[in-house]
Amino acid sequence: MMGRRLLGGYAILAYIFLYAPIAVVVVFAFNGGRDVLYWQGFSTKWFEEALKTPEITNALKLSILIALGNALVACVLGTMLALALPRMRPWVRTPIDALAYMTLVTPEIVFAIAALVFFVQAGSRLGIESPLGWHTILIAHVVFNASVVALVVRARFVSMGQQLEEASFDLGAGPLSTFRQVTLPRLAPAILAGGLLAFTFSFDDFITSFFVTGIESETLPIYIWGQLRFGVTPAINATAAMMLAFTLVTVVIAYLVLRRSGQERESATLPGV
Amino acid sequence: MADTKAEATEHRRGETRAGAGGPRYPGWLATPAVAWYLVFFLAPLAFIAVTSFGEVVGFSDVSYTWTLDNYRYLWDDFFGDFHLYRDIFLETFKLSVIGTLSTLVIGFPLAYYIARYAKHKTLLLLLVIVPFWTSFLIRAYAWLIILDPEFPVFRALGMSGFVESHELLFTPKAVYIGVAYNYLPLMVLPLYAALERIDWSLVEAAQDLGDPPWRAFRRITLPLALPGVLVGSLLVFIPLMGEYIIPVILGGNKTFYAGNLIAQQFLESRDWPLGSALAMVVIGALTIALLVYARVLGRQEQQG
């Protein structure tokens, strides 16, 4: 059929559109020249350069630490929420659901400035000298990442059915041992996938981090943002390429973990929110 | 009627009414997450609501005086002769509408192809999702390289002059391109989710019975895809009303939207109360948009 071929050709173009910009950043990171737009032969020297720049390595370390801490806290909060929600009475569940979705859809700039005002005002009321720093970034990131984890874990928890949990409770096990012996083994892949996604969400976040950070805490996206004022350089491309690689690997692992564990097709897709 | 429907949905999702099933995980497990949301999400939003009624004292301190001055100032601007802020909000609305429509136009055929014809659906869908999970910032700045007249591909094609004469970079055009690019995955996902559920034999039956393809599309595919269109539009439209990164990177000094306006009050002008009031206007505009959307959705459900 003609329509089908036409659409197939269009799909190829659409995928080129989706990936060309990412490819451009990566390819030009290997440009030996100083000027981004004039190709002067293949070289990895900008990667070496980037890894020798203390600002970049420090920012990378901070980004990873925040993303890790964020993923851990988000996993605990998100999983607990996901376990509690499905069987709640609708009048309790609906507002909590709404709240969780709100954290994902509110324009980020609004949340970022709200968090900034909140941390500064609460800090001055509590007598904290300089309340902003890595910890405020972490706290703010957990807000939307707990929702991300809850979304992933809950989809799996609901689709796998809860007869085993009911049996466990019936036989007298408490929530903790039921969780350890019955739920966790089956839910671990979803929790891990949610955690990995929360990690990349935090690792890549710019707006929230930018507004709630102190003077000394610079994450990698904040560093890149600052450098872009001077235009794109091969060193920035190299830094960005490393960030992309890092995120891509994490997302693909998350996907594989989810796919291997989920018999149901629906749980094999990542949530888009 | 609505009740049975809600119940059916709950059962389909494996969720039963409280008390109907057996023993379960206790509800208090939700407490830590809900507490986190209340303290670090709702309370901050309440803080800016209160701050929007304050005024600046000194360099950047806020005095909570319960004044309406910020809103009066914005009101005078919106409905007065000066209308600087009004124009920015109108431009933002335009950006959100055009951004939503362009991702819809670009994304629909792609989602349609994956849902109806593609062999490796999951893989192709994953390929749409992956860019979404990579850095928004990097995906935006990639266009700094591509839209430059000196971009090697343009040079190789001898198009540098052509691109230069069209002035893409650091204009609203570049912002629109960046928006269509960065938000495309958010549109494709819900579109695919809706299209994937369609029973294509219905479309074939309609065509066998004499409907030309376009009419079968309009009468069958489109109504069934509509929920996906509505969800996708929301997912793109809402964050676009506060878009901050793309205009700064690709728009140069010539473009300014609501998100940039809010950020400016916090980064440069140090006028937190006005910035908070502007954020409240964005929240208000979005609430109105959501209410309109809910009504459209309700009407559609009544018809279906």
Q: Do A143 and B13 touch (CB under 8 A)?
A: no
Mean of the per-residue pLDDT values of chain A: 90
Q: What pLDDT score does B199 carry? A: 92
Which residues from A are below 8 Å from B196, CB to CB?
Answer: none
Which residues from A are below 8 Å from B129, CB to CB?
Answer: 251, 269-270, 272
Q: Is B241 a residue whose pLDDT tops 90?
A: yes
Q: Which two tokens stand for residue B130?
A: 């992956």
Chain A residue with minimum CA distance to B197: A266
Q: What pLDDT score does A233 carry? A: 87
Q: Which two tokens stand for residue A213?
A: 């950070």
Which residues from A are below 8 Å from B283, CB to CB?
Answer: 110
User: pLDDT digit of tens for each residue in chain A (273 aa)?
Assistant: 568 899 999 999 999 999 999 999 999 999 988 888 888 889 999 999 999 999 999 999 999 999 999 999 999 999 999 999 988 889 999 999 999 999 998 999 999 999 999 999 999 889 888 889 999 999 999 999 999 999 999 999 988 888 888 889 889 888 889 999 999 999 999 999 999 999 999 999 999 999 999 888 999 999 999 999 888 888 999 999 999 999 999 988 888 888 877 644 444 444 543
Q: Do A88 and B152 touch (CB under 8 A)?
A: no
Q: Do A83 and B47 touch (CB under 8 A)?
A: no
Q: Do A143 and B143 touch (CB under 8 A)?
A: no
Q: Is B8 a residue whose pLDDT tops 60?
A: no
Which residues from B are below 8 Å from A103, CB to CB?
Answer: 37, 41
pLDDT in tens, A175-207: 889 999 999 999 999 999 999 999 999 999 999
Q: Is B183 a residue whose pLDDT tops 90?
A: yes
Nearest to A240 among B42, B138, B286 (CB): B138
Q: Do A251 and B130 touch (CB under 8 A)?
A: yes
Q: Which two tokens stand for residue B57?
A: 């004292």
Query: Greatest CA separation found in chain A?
Result: 71
Q: Quick check: A194 and A75 in contact, CB under 8 A?
A: yes
pLDDT in tens, B132-156: 989 999 999 999 999 998 888 888 8
Number of neighbours of residue A267 by Cβ within 10 angstroms:
21
pLDDT in tens, B150-174: 888 888 888 888 888 888 899 999 9
pTM: 0.90
